[in-house]
Amino acid sequence: MDHEAASGRRIKVLVIDDSALVRALLTRILGADPALQVIGTAPDAFVAREKIKALNPDVLTLDVEMPRMDGLQFLRNLMRLRPMPVVMCSSLTERGADVTLAALELGAIDFVTKPKVDIAHALEVYAAELINKVKVAAVARVRPMFSLPGAPNQAGGVHVARGELRFRTTDQIVAIGASTGGTEAVRQVLQRLPPDTPGIVITQHIPRAFSAPFAARLNACSQLSVQEAQDGALILPGHAYIAPGDRHLTVERDGARYRCRLRDDAPVNRHRPSVDVLFRSVAEQVGPNAVGVILTGMGVDGARGLKEMRGRGAHTIAQDEKSSVVWGMPGASVALGAVDRILPIEQIAAGLVELGDSREERLAAGSYNSLGPRHQVLPGAAETLIWHRPDCGVCRARSGTNVTQFACQTRLIFSWRCIHDPLDPHPELLHQAGGDCHCGDGTGGGSDRAVYIGEAARHQRCRA
């Protein structure tokens, strides 16, 4: 339902730009939509201030670069004195990217980009995007100016101090997806994470010129090493990798390691990079060793991919509606049954640490014993054992294969790594090649369940 249908009136827009040409173009583009009404224009911040008082607009479009007072300073004053939805108009330059990202930190809802040349043609091309973002801004939640760690947050609590959180395991991958309002949400999550956090891969809907400056800003305010993803880069603990603005980011397993892979495939859900593309690759390549996080954003991108991750045994988290600028992507994920936990933005970092600790405790307790197979072929033996484990979605998906089950214990302990969980250090009890079988003697704790496949069985008497 659009804003006009929901409220019974048109969305009132005030256009602020120092260019008379841009003001005229924006007025014509926005006014062509029946849900929008341009109630005025302003060439600078001082005129804008008076028109805001007189006209009471629902949404502002604000130029970044203006005379007398630049757009950033005007936005800072506005969010302190009279917070309201703002869509920034920014140039596709490095400085334009930095200023726009700063504006999003101050509370702007979203932005559109405009080139330095052929502005009229470019704005016509992006007319649908501009109209859509103004409509979304009209119903979005305007956040108070964000405070640094240690200051009170929206929920009335206190931000986690740096160094307070610690991961007990780093052999995981964390995948994060975000869109509208996401640059600030991602910053809030990363800023609270400890330096021993598992490797993080992030898809944020953002233009190509903005992704590298976005990574640099995150790197400056986080204990992690944050960078724009490069094709083939190893995903390392304590590092976060941002998808380039015009390429899909995926994860590829390389033995016991994971690498970033960049793709130039067609947009998915109208986006490149797409959150669904990232999440689906993590589901396939990482399985239960992953955690998926879906943050604020317009639309549904990421919801299906997050459900695939959950189906493969990964933990999943969605940002709650109250702390989201737009509860589109998280809301769609919840509706689809893709989410384990719904958390406010200020609690997501602690939630990630808690999930890491919980997994480490299960490993230490040897609790991976009852569901889902682990595969190992012993050299020289005509046997393949498939060990059951509860958290492996890949294994659960294969649990219907035609195999014969039997209970078997062994005297020989091998340390090996599951193909679905290549970094899992937990030693498993395996059938000893050519050795004696001690079924039910308790050497494996009395609860070991294995699956036998293959014709040349050494221990036919073990068959159930």
- Give the residue, 432 or 350, on which the prediction is more confident: 350
Is 421 catalytic? The answer is: no
Q: Is the pLDDT of residue 399 over 80?
A: no
CA 427, distance to chain mean position in Å, is 32
Q: Is the pLDDT of residue 4 over 60?
A: no
User: How many Cα neighbours within 13 Å face the side chain of 190?
Assistant: 32
Q: Which helix (H) or strand (E) holds 186?
A: helix 182-192
CA 197 – CA 200 distance, rounded (Å): 8
Largest CA distance in the chain: 90
Instruction: Average the pLDDT over each of 21-25, 35-39, 87-91, 441-445 and give the range with the smallest value.
Output: 441-445
**Taking the chain, what is the end-to-end CA distance rounded to the nearest angstrom?**
59
Question: Would you say 383 and 436 are in contact if contact means Cβ atoms under 8 Å apart?
Answer: no
Q: Give me the catalytic one of 91, 179, 323, 324.
A: 179
CA 274 – CA 294 distance, rounded (Å): 12
Section 136-145 average pLDDT = 85
Q: What value does the mean pLDDT of the chain take? A: 76
Instruction: Average the pLDDT over each of 156-160, 308-312, 356-360 and give the range with the smallest value.
Output: 156-160
CA 16 – CA 13 distance, rounded (Å): 10
Q: Give me the catalytic one of 301, 320, 391, 424.
A: 301
CA 101 – CA 106 distance, rounded (Å): 9
Q: Is the pLDDT of residue 450 over 50?
A: no
Q: Are strands 225-228 and 86-91 parallel, antiparallel or unpaired?
A: unpaired
Whole-number pLDDT of residue 448: 32
102 phi, psi to nearest 5 deg: -65, -40
Section 162-182 average pLDDT = 74
Q: Identify any residues that bridge with 13 across adjacent strands, giving them in sequence order.
A: 38, 59
Per-residue pLDDT reduced to its tens digit, 243-272: 999 999 999 999 889 999 999 999 999 999
Q: Where are the alpha helices (DSSP H) in 56-173?
A: 71-81, 94-106, 119-125, 127-139
Closest CA to 295 of 164, 197, 179: 179
Residue 361 — very low, low, confident or very high, per pLDDT cuts 50/70/90?
low
Question: Would you say 64 and 91 are in contact if contact means Cβ atoms under 8 Å apart?
Answer: yes
Helix (H, G, I), strand (E, B) or coil at 38: strand
- Give the residue, 206 or 388, on which the prediction is more confident: 206
Is 205 catalytic? The answer is: yes
Residue type, 343: L
237 phi, psi to nearest 5 deg: -60, 145
Q: Is the pLDDT of residue 292 over 80?
A: yes
CB atoms under 10 Å from CB of 102, counted, come to 16
Question: Would you say 337 and 307 are in contact if contact means Cβ atoms under 8 Å apart?
Answer: yes
Sheet with 110-114: strands ordered across: 36-42, 11-16, 59-63, 86-91, 110-114
In sequence order, what E strands does 191-264 have?
199-204, 225-228, 239-242, 248-254, 257-263
Instruction: Average the pLDDT over each of 1-5, 150-154, 160-164, 214-218 and give the range with the smallest value.
Output: 150-154
CB atoms under 10 Å from CB of 55, counted, come to 13
Q: Give me the catalytic one of 205, 248, 426, 431.
A: 205
- Which tokens in the block code for residue 160? 């986690």
Closest CA to 180 of 258, 265, 80, 111: 111
Instruction: Give the CA-trace dihedral at 82, 85, 89, 92, to 10 degrees.
Output: 110
Is 271 catalytic? The answer is: no
Task: Tell me if the pTM is above 0.75.
Answer: no
Structural domains of the chain sorted by starting position, each given as residue range(s) with its CATH number in brackets: 3-139 (3.40.50.2300), 173-364 (3.40.50.180), 366-464 (no CATH)
Section 303-320 average pLDDT = 96
